[in-house]
Structure 1
Amino acid sequence: MADRAAATSYKPRSYAAVKVLPAAQGHLVGRFSYGTTPALAAQVRKRGGAAKWFTWQLRGTAVKDSTYATTKAWWPDLTRSPESLWKRNVDGVRGGWEVMADYQRWVIARRHQSQQQVLETMTQFWENHLYVPTNGEQWFVHRVSYGETIRKHALGRFENLLHATITHPAMLLYLDNATSTAARPNENLGRELLELHTVGRGRFTEADVKSSARILTGWYVDMWKTWKPSYRPDMHATGPVKVKGFSHANRSADGREVTRLYLRYLARHPDTARRIATKLVTKFVGDTPQPALVDKLAKVYLKNNTAIAPVLQALVASKQFKAAAGKKVRDPIEDVVATYRALGVKVARPTTANSAANAVLWQAQSVGATPFGWPRPDGTPIDNTSWSSTSRVIASLSMHYSMSGGWWPKERATHRTPKSWVPKSGMRLDELVDHLSRSILHRPSTSRLLQACCEATALKPHERIGHDHALVRWGMPRLLTTVLDSPDFFRR
């Protein structure tokens, strides 16, 4: 009875000046972006709807956008050579961890501002799957290039992406393959290639790991000096190798061809197809991947020679995806980025440590995570449970309130004025709540949201809000944060 009374008492009123996408379209755009904004919704409509927008976005870098280059220039160390970065680190000019903090900030800036939202989303997915953390020593000198390599292949073929990443100096350094020799093959990369990057745990033997490690010997990085990558035939372990169904005589001291064939085999293996399909479903559909959908996506992946775009098209067209609206929780970084986008905060080139483009990293850390700060090679969790703790929710509520008031960070950031959130003076509170719901949550208001806003502001639904009302002058942060604290905002 109480719930029914509340629903009647707090019946929302519509103020439809902000157009929202139909629910199914909003679900697709929200799942493959860092937050649907009125501007993004307008872009979707201009493209003829979410399905056509998604197909257009799958063109990746062909989608016009200057954010990538413009924001990279904000942090000069991101363009320095590996040798220069290491020398500056050793000389105490600027530590590797500081450079990596800049890389993390650049990643956040791109997610916030880029028009290539699907490309950034999939870059995050693959940079998490083929994981090299930003917290570490030697590999920081090549970590920016590693992220750029993944972004280049993020919507191409997994076979090409796998070869480019496994032989990249950042990966070679991180998993100890850069100095792996014929006499002493290091098994770290050979094992993680199988367990994490391709076929998955339990799908290989220890003998497979040993052959995998031998195949990858020869890929070298000149550590402590130039940091240049090269191939060293004198370090390659020759002789017959066998991993699962792959076998090769491996007679040549130049093992680059056997590496190519081996990675091609792994990329096209049915176990790899299922593993990638499972992770895609977990990230974009739900935490309990349905076998039928996994099987379907794996078949599409293999049929299209590991091309990623057809798999994504099949995923978003599936009935399981369409039924999964509101079932994925934003991780802390996604929450921070979505908050900036929802509140329309504009960020300029940083000039000090307190500038918003720099401080946003500490915001993300305060909520619970930083880009690629996960310490293990298995990558940042993509399930709901990992990001649904009480402490995480409380941290998000605090961040939402600070951002709603424009209190921090405010240096080199432009926040909307309280008055700008009220489209006309003298509108009813229930109309204003609907307007904010459409602007921030990209959906009409509900009885639950209206009731929460009334309780948070101690106002009645019918109260008229003028531009000189106390709510606008002093209480708008309380109203905005109530909308941001909605369960609908916590979910993608």
Structure 2
Amino acid sequence: MARNTAGLLTPAQRHLVTRFGYGVDATLAEDVRRAGGASAWFELQLTRPGAFPDGAAEGVRRWWPDLDRGPAELWKRQVEEVRGGWEVMEDYGRWLLVRRIRTRRPVLEKMAEFWEAMLHVPVSGDAQFTWRVDYGDTVRRHALGRFDELLAATTTHPAMLIFLSGATSTKRAPNENLGRELLELHTLGTGNYDEDDVKASARILTGHHVDLWETWKASYVEEDHYRGRVKVRGFSARNAKADGRRVTKEYLHYLAHHPDTAHHVCERLATKFVRDDPPQSLVRRLAKVYLRNDTAIVPVLQALVASKEFRTSAGDKLRDPSEDVVATYRALGVEVGRPRSGDSGANAILWQASGLGLSPHAWPRPDGTPVRNDVWASPARALGSMSMHWSMAGGWWPTAELDYRTPSAWVPAKKPIRFADLVDEVSRDLLHRPASKHLVETACLATGCGRKEKIDREHGLYQWGFPRLLAAVLDSPDHLAC
């Protein structure tokens, strides 16, 4: 990643690209300028992501070959103790993190992450891991499409069926897990259904099957499908045929277009991208856009970003653990190389996220990775972030297959620079914003340098103390908040 040497983005531009990205670096800033501003950049990201060549991000998948193995092969390798499912899923998390560091299509990545968290299948699990990478790929394909199509693709996906017991649910013993979470977490929301709705929902979804512990093939078994009239809220069907897939399709279409689903989806979007307590007036406006556009996601995001509530929310959100790790790599300009040893940076990055509280999609419950600040605003998380920032500011860990920048990137070779000016230079580089008065004061306290003190390459700050300055910048709200 290149250094931020060109003019800074405006605060409004930085707010947009930071909220829908993983940290501003020189490449992102240049993409924004070439697009004609942040709004034009965002529009291209939504409607023509191919306008931003992303080979550097796409190529990293080859670093972890297990991600492209089929379910049966993955299971065979686990049984034969060649490689466990948990190891494959760790590679999946690593791939996501490195992809986010490198991507020029952050809006697509951000929305893939958002939906993968809302329509959640944890990466842990001896059964669903076989299909989990394919599930993530499925979500990414629909991330900027229509929610009704995304819902249909994920609800009947083998990973979801396995995780929520839909793969073994039959007319004789319908399992309610998938039917319930579909209503509560994926569509209508808590309190908008009753137990009769759950029972009918589970019956509608019977027939979908995965051959667990053997071939892992997905199929539809007609003799396992419940037949008979079903009713969920305003949806009803005779459901008389042995093949219930058409009824399932119509049912999921109904749920995706329900006003309660529109509210549920838009409230989560507003909580993630605006603030923890989004005004209900905003949620209602977004829900109208969602329904008016046949559940299309792009118009909702356009309306969200155009809202006054979004424009005035800069700094109101806190980066979650994975976002903090990715943003730190991007801010410091750390180049991540292909892993060639167990302790390589590309492998260790997952341990860094786990150390802060959560690696990608490892949240154990069906409700998915939280999008509220309060979950991540704990003293333990703050201390974990500070520890991670400190180790990376000094380039101490991780080190293998990583390329860190040195203090010479900021301290001139000949002419000394005032400390306050140096802090401003570092802030502009790492955070793409001028140093605030508070940041300069914090940097003075962290390093023991005075505002007007002259810094050159013979100074102790350059020789051994520079990590204190970098860590002070990374520990600031200007980095942790977005």
The corresponding residue for 2:471 is 481
Report the Cα distance in structure 1 between the residues aligned to 2:182 and 2:126, rounded to whole angstroms: 21
The corresponding residue for 2:44 is 56
CA drift at 1:191: 0.4
Kept in 2, the 8 Å contact 1:17–1:435? The answer is no
Gaps of 5+ in 1: 1-15
CA drift at 1:217: 0.5
The corresponding residue for 1:358 is 347
The corresponding residue for 2:403 is 414
Q: 2:423 aligns with which of 424, 433, 440?
A: 433
Report the Cα distance in structure 1 between the residues aligned to 2:272 and 2:112, rounded to whole angstroms: 13
Report the Cα distance in structure 2 between the residues aligned to 1:111 and 1:432, rounded to whole angstroms: 29
The corresponding residue for 2:139 is 150
Gaps of 5+ in 2: none
CA drift at 1:39: 2.3
The corresponding residue for 1:43 is 31
> Quick one: which amino acid aligns to residue 50 of structure 1?
A
Report the Cα distance in structure 1 between the residues aligned to 2:444 and 2:195, rounded to whole angstroms: 62
Q: 2:460 aligns with which of 470, 475, 479?
A: 470
Report the Cα distance in structure 2 between the residues aligned to 1:484 and 1:341, rounded to whole angstroms: 11
Kept in 1, the 8 Å contact 2:9–2:29? The answer is yes
Helix, strand or coil at the partner of 1:242? strand
The corresponding residue for 1:4 is none
Report the Cα distance in structure 1 between the residues aligned to 2:412 and 2:78, rounded to whole angstroms: 52
**Counterpart mapping for 1:184-333 below 5 A:** 184-333=173-322
Kept in 2, the 8 Å contact 1:457–1:478? The answer is yes
Report the Cα distance in structure 1 between the residues aligned to 2:438 and 2:410, rounded to whole angstroms: 21
Post-superposition Cα deviations, 1:133-166, rounded to whole Å, max 9, x if no partner, equal 0111100000000000000000000000000000
Q: TM-score, normalised by structure 2?
A: 0.97
Report the Cα distance in structure 2 between the residues aligned to 1:69 and 1:47, rounded to whole angstroms: 22
Percent of pairs with identical residues: 56
Helix, strand or coil at the partner of 1:73? helix
The corresponding residue for 2:86 is 97
Pair 1:178 & 2:167 matched = yes
Post-superposition Cα deviations, 1:76-103, rounded to whole Å, max 9, x if no partner, equal 1111110010011111111110000000
Helix, strand or coil at the partner of 2:63? coil
Report the Cα distance in structure 2 between the residues aligned to 1:365 and 1:269, rounded to whole angstroms: 37
Post-superposition Cα deviations, 1:9-68, rounded to whole Å, max 9, x if no partner, equal xxxxxxx95521111111001000000112211210111000000001113652421145
Pair 1:490 & 2:471 matched = no
The corresponding residue for 1:445 is 435
Report the Cα distance in structure 2 between the residues aligned to 1:267 and 1:67, rounded to whole angstroms: 35
Helix, strand or coil at the partner of 1:220? strand
Q: 1:19 aligns with which of 7, 29, 40?
A: 7
Report the Cα distance in structure 2 between the residues aligned to 1:454 and 1:65, rounded to whole angstroms: 40
Helix, strand or coil at the partner of 2:168? coil
Change in Cα spacing, 1:165 to 1:491, as seen in structure 2 (3 Å) is: same
Q: 2:98 aligns with which of 84, 89, 109?
A: 109
Report the Cα distance in structure 2 between the residues aligned to 1:68 and 1:253, rounded to whole angstroms: 45
The corresponding residue for 2:446 is 456
Report the Cα distance in structure 2 between the residues aligned to 1:415 and 1:71, rounded to whole angstroms: 19
C-alpha RMSD of matched pairs (Å): 1.2
Helix, strand or coil at the partner of 1:58? helix
> Quick one: which amino acid aligns to residue 258 of structure 2?
H
The corresponding residue for 2:150 is 161
The corresponding residue for 1:33 is 21
Post-superposition Cα deviations, 1:432-460, rounded to whole Å, max 9, x if no partner, equal 11111111122111111111111111111
Report the Cα distance in structure 1 between the residues aligned to 2:302 and 2:104, rounded to whole angstroms: 19
Kept in 1, the 8 Å contact 2:412–2:457? The answer is no
Report the Cα distance in structure 1 between the residues aligned to 2:445 and 2:194, rounded to whole angstroms: 60
Kept in 2, the 8 Å contact 1:18–1:438? The answer is no
Helix, strand or coil at the partner of 2:22? coil
CA drift at 1:464: 1.6
Q: TM-score, normalised by structure 1?
A: 0.95
Helix, strand or coil at the partner of 1:247? strand
